[in-house]
Structures are given as structure tokens and as C-alpha cells.
Structure 1
Amino acid sequence: MKQTTTIILVVLSTLHQYQSAKLPTNFKKCDKGKPDFDKCLSSAIQDAIKHLNKPLAEYGLVSFDPYVTPNERTFVFGEEITGLRQKFSKFKISGFTNIKSTDARMDFVHKILYLDLVAPKLVCSFEYEAHGRMVLVPVEVVTEAAATLTFSTYLYIFKYNPEG
């Protein structure tokens, strides 16, 4: 998820910086010469994320709510011979387009975008497997599972090269 989030936000922030870029008509544009640019950018990014609840195919952007991993992503922890092997797969994340607050700060000199986001509720559903032993008890679990994150804060730092 973090890699996809990064890609989408880099695309959005880069598009907002350049007035000549073709943006969807419902995306807010900001003038980098105005003193309230960071405030405008914060609002524009938050608004743009809210519009990603459906795909924008003409811009190459997928739906962000729910976000479903595009291919099989599997994370495996531990090994069942000496303990417990856990496997997480088929991730689906809902709630990221309901951002509560966005604070964007653009450093044009060093070409860095700092972005703080707060999401009031994210629901992550996935398939979960566990195989092995806990102390002496054998464990064999295969199930669907979910985790709810409340008021999660995300800090992203993007370095960019506007020339390409």
C-alpha cells in the first residue's frame, strides 16, 4: 500500500505544481507564487484524494477506496519448524479517501514535498494463515481477517525532479 500511496501522491503533487499540466476539471489548482501556496496545496491534495474513490483511467489512476492490491502480495513471517509461520495476503483497504486533515509543505529550493495526512478510520481486510506451534500447542489457521486503524497519521517526504 505504501508504494502505491507514494506513487499516487507524487503524481498528484507534481500535477498541482505545474499550471500547464492537464488536471481533471474537479481538481483544484494552486499558484506557487502566492504566499498561501502550502495552504492551497494542502486543500487541493485532500480534495484530490477524496475524488479517488473511483478510477480516473484517463490519468492512469486506480480507485483508491477500496484499494485492492493489483496482484498477489504475500507477507510471510517466521518459520513453522521453530515457532509460528504467519502469512498475510489479498489485501483490501477502505477509508483512505476520507482524509480528516492534510498538511502539505513544498520546498521548491530542495525540490521536496512534505505531506502529513490523518485518516480517521482505515479498514484492512486480508487472508491470514498461521502454521506451527505456540509453546507446545499446534496451530493451523486459515481465515479471513480484518484490522481497523483509527486516526492513523502518515508522513510522506517526496523528493522530485520536475525535468523528468
Structure 2
Amino acid sequence: MKRLILLLCFAFCENVKLPPNFQKCNRNQPDLNQCLLQAAQNGISQLTRAYEKVNIPNLNPFEVPEVTVGQGSGTVAVDQNFKNCLFSGFHKMKLDQFEFDFDKKILHFVGTFPDITKKCDYELDGKVLLLPIRGSGKSTIVLENLDVDLVFHFEEYKKNDKTFIKITSNELKLEPGHVTFNFDNLFDGDKRLGDNINHVLNDNWKEVFDDVKAGYIEVISQILMTLFTNFFAKVSLEEALD
């Protein structure tokens, strides 16, 4: 079972204005998709502080109280339980595509995160690559050159004569160029055993990650879905695309 607990900030739908440093586009302009791409890239790079009026928290770092990544189907026979997580690197995303399709009710974007770093308290007890792994303490997992392809499906609804959108589902594909694992205090602090398991994890990073990729897809898609849902609960389409 994969579990993600987020501090959601859903608010009553009220139309607020975008911060003046956020670029706006017109829904009827012929180069709308190019404008949206530039506006989204500009906005993402500024998310190193909170924008409370439009319901966006600071993304560097982004706090997640609890994450559980379930066992894989072969290589990873252990539930990964994480608490007090700090994710950093979301604001560095380089977008290649950012498009609204208002007929199909789809928001589609493609891009790359140079690195996503997840620092958490962890608890592990099981086997990885048939080797026992056990411990609790601090952990750092870095996803480098993480390619993402995300489709949001949404619905439109009216509130006070303004049009808002609600994200109903998403489809995320992701592929890292490299993953680095580090778990402190494995085997009650036995440095030799702990270093050996960390080396094994990093030497076989792709096999290890691929076996539990579904858990990371759920975590990252829920984070991104939360951000967009909260934003569009505050900002109407009329305000975002005047």
C-alpha cells in the first residue's frame, strides 16, 4: 500500500489576482501555448517563497509529513516508511511543453527536474536484492535529471460568475537519469553493514528504483496535483487567461 499525507490548503473559491510578477496570457491569442510555456516557466522559477493569496506554498523545500512507498514485485521486499520529509528542487523544473486543451479538458506538461532531493526520517525492515535491510534514522534520496510527462484531467465550474477548474485525475510518467540512495544508521549504526547496503543500492539503483517506481509516481503526482488544485481553487480562468 502506498500512502501520502499532505497538508492540503483547499480554500473557498474566490477569484484573486495573480501576483504582478506572474506573466499572463490571453486565451484567444494565436500563440497561446508558447505564451503559457513561458508564463509557467517564469512562475515555477519564482516558487522559492509562499504566495498565500493564490494558495501556493514555498516549494524549496516542500514539506510532506508522511510518505509510505510499498514493496515492489521482486527486488524491493520492504515497505519504505518516511516521515518529516523535505522535498527540494521542484522550482528548478525546465519545461518543454505546457498546454491547455479546453475541449478535451486536459492540461499537459512535459519537462525535466535537474534534481529532486528527498530528505526524511525513515524506517526499514525487509530485504532488497535478497539482502536484509533494517534501520531507522535520516535518509536522503536524489532523483537526477528526472523527466516527467504529466496529464491533468479537469472539470470547469462556475462560482460568482467566474470559471474555475477542478483537477479530477492525472497520468504521470517519470524517468530519472540516475538515483542516489543514502540511509544513515542502518543495522543500529553498524557502519560496515550500512555502507555495504548503501553501496549495493547505488550500484543497482535502476533495478531498485524501477521496482518501486509506482510509489514515487504516486508521491510526485499527488504533490503536483495538490499544487495545481489549490492554485485553481483561488484563481479563475478569467484571471489566469484574460
The interval holding the TM-score normalised by the smaller chain is 0.7 to 0.9
CA contact (8 A) 1:112 1:158 kept: yes
Question: What RMSD, in angstroms, separates the aligned Cα atoms of the two structures?
Answer: 3.0
Matched, 1:119 2:113: yes
CA contact (8 A) 1:131 1:139 kept: yes
Alignment partner, residue 14 of structure 1: none
In the TM superposition, what is the alpha-carbon distance from 1:49 to its structure 2 partner? Answer: 1.4
After TM superposition, list the pairs within 5 Å mapping 1:122-161 onto structure 2: 122-132=116-126, 139-161=133-155
Matched, 1:73 2:30: no
Alignment partner, residue 22 of structure 2: 27
Classify the secondary structure of the residue corresponding to 1:64: coil
Highest relative contact order (Cα 8 Å, sep 6+), 1 or 2? 2
* TM-score (norm. length: structure 1): 0.73
What CA distance in whole angstroms lies between the structure 2 residues aligned with 1:137 and 1:121? 28
Between stretches 125-134 and 58-67, larger displacement belongs to 125-134
Classify the secondary structure of the residue corresponding to 1:109: coil
What CA distance in whole angstroms lies between the structure 2 residues aligned with 1:34 and 1:68? 37
In the superposition, relative to structure 1, how do residues 96 and 133 fare at CA in structure 2: closer, same or farther (>3 Å)? closer
Letter in 2 for 1:49: I
Letter in 1 for 2:20: T
Matched, 1:58 2:65: no
Deviating 4+ runs (over 6 angstroms): 133-138
CA contact (8 A) 1:89 1:127 kept: yes
| Structure 1: stretches of 5+ with no match in the other structure | 9-19
Matched, 1:108 2:98: no
In the TM superposition, what is the alpha-carbon distance from 1:150 to its structure 2 partner? Answer: 1.2
Taking every aligned residue pair, what percent have the same amino acid on both sides?
Answer: 25
Query: Aligned pair count?
Result: 144
In the superposition, relative to structure 1, how do residues 159 and 141 fare at CA in structure 2: closer, same or farther (>3 Å)? same
In the TM superposition, what is the alpha-carbon distance from 1:92 to its structure 2 partner? Answer: 0.9
What CA distance in whole angstroms lies between the structure 2 residues aligned with 1:28 and 1:85? 43
Letter in 1 for 2:31: D
What CA distance in whole angstroms lies between the structure 2 residues aligned with 1:96 and 1:148? 12
Classify the secondary structure of the residue corresponding to 1:151: strand
Cα distance per residue 1:101-127 (max 9 Å; x no partner) = 341122121121111121111111111
Letter in 1 for 2:93: I
